[in-house]
Amino acid sequence: MKIIGTFLVCILFCNLVSAQLPDNKNAAMYVEQMPEFPGGQDSLISFIARNIKYPTKAIADSLEGKVVAKFIVNTNGSISDIEILYDIGGGCGDEVKRVIKLMPKWNAGKQNGRTVAVYYNLPVAFYLDDYKKQK
């Protein structure tokens, strides 16, 4: 029950946030060069399309909408501190978290020519019409 196609076009890259450092983490929220999935946005969308599954409970409950995840792309490109900021329920948040954990190392963000850890927000959309078209 993989989701591919148009619903992933709804993935947004919400990185335009303040340039402050969070209180208790050593990661920037915005830098000169934001972290990037290997191959860019199209590769990120393809990766999610190949790996994400619309949760059975979400389908049964007719749940649709966006799940918003936040994580840190570390200086070595690894992902850590995955957090679901907004969840539509039915296991969708857990599914997004599972797929983020599968991601390969990213190209790290840079500030003043130096590699830095950066927070990254990733909304992922779940729409039943798009799911049904893929079946």
Residue 133: per-residue pLDDT: 67
CA 132 from chain centre, in angstroms, equals 22
Residue 28: per-residue pLDDT: 86
Taking the C-alpha atoms of residue 87 and residue 92, their distance in angstroms, rounded to an integer, is: 7
Q: Do 32 and 111 contact (CB within 8 A), yes or no?
A: yes
User: Fold for domain 6-134?
Assistant: TolA/TonB C-terminal domain (3.30.2420)
Residue matched to tokens 């020519």: 113
* Beta strand segments in the chain, E: 65-73, 79-86, 109-111, 114-116, 118-126
Domain boundaries, the chain: 6-134
For 64-113, write each residue's pLDDT tens digit.
999 999 999 999 999 999 999 999 999 999 999 999 999 999 999 999 99
User: pTM here?
Assistant: 0.80
